[in-house]
Structure 1
Amino acid sequence: MKKFCLVAVFAIAAMFSVNAQGQFRAGLSGGIPIGDAGDLATFAIAVDLGYLFEISDSFDAGVATGYSHSFGDSIDILGVSVDLDDVQFIPIAASGRFEVAPDFTLGADVGYAVGIGDGSDGGFYYSPRAQYSVSEAIDIVAAYRGVSVDGGSWDIITAGVEFGID
């Protein structure tokens, strides 16, 4: 299933690139794990890559991927300190952005996050976000990132910067 999703995303991206011109986006964020993830990790970093096509003057759609790394916490169990493993995901998602004002955009990425590492499972990936344009090519981004995993979810609130590359 994971291989099928990856091939499907790249096939769709290839079809769009033949018929339309878009913009490559790259971003870097730092975040705080919350909920179940907050009990197991201390901090997170994320790298985002995407390609968006202009569908209309105020709406862009495309594909997104990246890498998310949450650093495992250290917990005490009966007086013994135990270091928890880091958790990493590679999301493969469809992406949409709607410009609600000249410098303010709302959007979401939805797809599947592939778990990386020992015992890491993947799951349904969702990331609603708000972006403020500082310049033509630079946005400040606040996002909620969630991955539905067996027995719960892995949730992170992030803030970072995104760059548009023509």
Structure 2
Amino acid sequence: MVRKAQEYFYKKLLTNQFLNMKKLLLSVAAVLAFGFASAQDSDGGFQAGIHAGIPMGDAGDVYSANFGADLAYMFPMGDSFQLGVTTGYSYYSGKSNDTGFGKVKVNGAFIPVAAAAHYSLNTNWFLGADLGYAVYSGDGDGDGGVYYQPKVGYQTETMELFLGYKGISASGGAVSSVGVGAAYKF
């Protein structure tokens, strides 16, 4: 009986890992296809960055921290406005929760695929927003959902620093965090 339970667990785990990898590859392919299809504008540019945050709301009961990496390609649409695409990996470190049958720690992770917009208020300050879909790639079964991130930041020609609110809304609830990030502009 225990052996059958172990076989079921490993089969389910491998199936979930395969499906998550498939979602990841499809998401990355979509972002790259869009980026290269629109790469005719020579003034556009890649951005690579990192972020860290504190989970808020119900997510704060389950997760202790959020951190990850981001990749974007932005297209200038005028002197002070840019549109682009963004993706990355956002990891939520789980807290140990007592279920009555022992402690459980569930780590969450999402791969967002989103449109991005930046509006420069002046030479250095900007407002930004990302809107898209986040694919769940964490422990166990999980759902992806609508991804959004409004942010405000400080930028130079080669880098940006920002403060943002990240949210992922799905039918089963929401995961959100407040955090900071930094990106290098290529």
Q: One fold, TM greater than 0.5?
A: yes
The structure whose residues are more often helix, as a share, is: 2
Return the alpha-carbon distance in structure 2 between the equivalents of residues 11 and 139 of structure 1. Answer: 25
In structure 1, the residue matched to 2:120 is 99
Mark the CA change 1:74 to 1:4 in structure 2 (over 3 Å): closer, same or farther.
Answer: closer
In structure 1, the residue matched to 2:39 is 17
2:55 partner SS? strand
Which is worse superposed, 51-60 or 135-144? Answer: 135-144
User: TM-score of the superposition, structure 1-length normalised?
Assistant: 0.89
The number of residues matched between the two structures is 163
Return the alpha-carbon distance in structure 2 between the equivalents of residues 76 and 8 of structure 1. Answer: 40
> Which deviations, in whole Å up to 9, do the C-alpha atoms of 1:14-66 show, x marking residues without a partner?
22103443111111111100011101000110211000011100001110000
Shift of 1:8: 4.7
Equivalent residues in 2 for 1:3-152, closer than 5 Å: 8-78=30-100, 81-117=102-138, 118-133=140-155, 135-152=156-173
Query: Could you say what the CA RMSD is over the residues aligned between the two structures, in angstroms?
Result: 2.0
Return the alpha-carbon distance in structure 2 between the equivalents of residues 16 and 48 of structure 1. Answer: 20
Structure 2 residue runs of 5 or longer lacking an equivalent are 1-22
Mark the CA change 1:2 to 1:150 in structure 2 (over 3 Å): closer, same or farther.
Answer: farther
Q: Which amino acid aligns with 2:175?
A: W
Which is worse superposed, 143-152 or 30-39? Answer: 143-152
Return the alpha-carbon distance in structure 2 between the equivalents of residues 41 and 83 of structure 1. Answer: 12
Q: Judge conservation of contact 1:74–1:81 (CA < 8 Å) in 2.
A: no
Q: Which amino acid aligns with 2:118?
A: R
The structure whose residues are more often strand, as a share, is: 1
Q: Which amino acid aligns with 2:132?
A: G
